[in-house]
Amino acid sequence: MSQKEIVYLLSDSIGETAEFVVKAVAAQFIEKDFEIRQTSHVSSAADIEQIILKAKKDDSIVVYTFVIDELKDYLNKRAHEENIDAVDLLSPLMNVFIKKYNREPAHKPGLTRKLDEKYFQKVEAIEFAVKYDDARDTEGIAKADIVLIGVSRTSKTPLSMYLAYKGYKVANIPLVPEVPAPAELFELPKGKCIGLIIKPDSLNAIRKERLKKLGLQPHAAYAKLDRILEELDYAEKIMKRVGCPIINVSNKAIEETANDVMDILNMQKSVYSL
């Protein structure tokens, strides 16, 4: 059995980039058996010194992904002194970016991981919005960043999804006179619940169009003005009990309403952080 060739990987972050590249290159040398030894979160010259001594002893290659210049300079200096082949995977491309875009990099490790975390946070928020849409599960009320309440056709669901795309966990609750509002709604801390209202004539037109698309008669009770007034009156009473901010969504785009919601949240955070 042939002796394994050792490659040392160093990173001031996780080191996934170095691992992926080294494995891709090593796979091309079929007759060789490689052992990859990875050291993540390198933060000092002492960390580097340990690897340099091991790499010299094992006659190994050192591959690294450093964005912190001090670490990179120290490793290059020591590798040169010990006659060790050290490969910098990031600097060639980083330098092209600097020259092309005339910008300096942040030199902060772990930024890729932070971007990934934002992506997964967004996915989690979207799954949350789907799960707790239209009061399917009232347990979501306590877990949500935002709880939207309002009568049917006040854009609660599309607004929930839009806010979820922004990373907020949103639950929405329809307010119907015949259905008692969830008790959890009245236990929410201030600033978590937002009420959505709409002009009666606007809601009347929206509901008639909705019935038409469903192939139903536009004069059904759902779209009658007296029914709409009853629902809006009931919703207003609930919103007053909850004590939540209210947004009028009449003739507003989802993006505009979402900005209003986020403005309210930011204002509430400022108030309660004082």
- The reported pLDDT for the residue numbered 1 is 44
Cα-Cα end-to-end distance for the chain = 69
Report the pLDDT value the prediction gives residue 115, as an integer from 0 to 100: 60
pLDDT at position 274, please? 47
Q: What is the rounded distance in angstroms from the CA atom of residue 121 to the CA atom of residue 165?
A: 9
Binding residues: 150-157
In angstroms, the CA 196 to CA 177 distance is: 16
Write down the pLDDT at residue 119.
76
Collect all residues with Cβ–Cβ distance below 8 Å to 27 and sequence separation of at least 6.
none
Flag residues of the chain having pLDDT under 70.
1-2, 110-116, 269-274
pLDDT of residue 271: 59
At 8, phi and psi to the nearest 5?
-95, 130
Distances (CA, A) of 113 to 14, 46, 89, 110, 237: 8, 25, 18, 5, 46
Residue 253's nearest CA partner among 126, 127, 132, 162 is 162
Each residue of 236-263: pLDDT tens digit?
999 999 999 999 999 999 999 999 999 9
Q: What is the pTM of this model?
A: 0.61
In whole angstroms, what is the distance from residue 25 CA to residue 22 CA?
A: 5
Say whether 117-273 and 5-109 share the same fold. yes
In DSSP terms, which residues pair with 65 in a beta bridge?
11
Task: Determine the Cα–Cα distance for residues 173 and 86; give it in Å rounded to an integer.
Answer: 59
Just give the CATH number of 117-273: 3.40.50
Report the top-level CATH class of 5-109.
alpha beta
Check if the beta carbon of residue 165 is closer than 8 Å to that of residue 213. Answer: no
Q: Could you tell me which residues are annotated as the binding site for ADP?
A: 150-157
- Separation between Cα atoms, residue 53 and residue 250, nearest integer Å: 70
Provide the residue ranges of all domains of the chain, joining segments of one domain with +: 5-109, 117-273
Residue/partner pairs of 223-231 with CB below 8 Å, 24 or more apart: 225/200, 225/201, 228/151, 228/200, 228/203, 228/204, 229/200, 230/177, 231/151, 231/152, 231/175, 231/176, 231/177
Q: 3-state DSSP call for residue 205?
A: helix
Structure tokens, 209: 């169009």
